[in-house]
Structure formats: structure tokens, C-alpha cells
Amino acid sequence: MDTDTFLSQDTLLVIAILVVGIGGSGIARGLLVERGLDALGSVVFVLGYGTMVVLLWWGWIRPLDITGPSERGG
């Protein structure tokens, strides 16, 4: 497998968004909960995770053409 193709710029960006969206918001939530800010921690996690989902949808899933054939062959 060619590493240039496997680790393209798009692939690295998706990995970074996933790490920050899941890991970063989870760590931030954990730190806030330790300081007694449970509600703020939950808000930070939901916003971080939700932003990650929207960015992945907007950048990679939305542009896909996932429609079936327009006419049936007969």
C-alpha cells in the first residue's frame, strides 16, 4: 500500500477532526467535571462532538452523489 495515497491530506484532516472532536471534547469535559462544572462540561462535550459530526458531514458526506439510476433499463 502506498503511504502517500493512504495518508493523503484529506485523510489526515479527517483523523485530526475525529481526534479533536472526540478526544479533545472528552478531555475538556473531564477537566471541567473535576472542577465541579458538570453542566458546562456536558455542554462543551456536546458542542465539540456535534461540531465534529457537522464538519465531517459537510466536508465528506454531503458532496457524495448517492442516488440510484435515473432510468430503469427495460
Instruction: Write out pLDDT tens, residues 15-51.
Output: 888 999 899 999 999 999 999 999 999 999 999 999 9
Residue 43: per-residue pLDDT:
95
Residue 51: per-residue pLDDT:
92
Return d(Cα 15, Cα 36) in angstroms, integer. 31
Q: Residue 4: pLDDT above 70?
A: no
Q: Residue 72: pLDDT above 90?
A: no
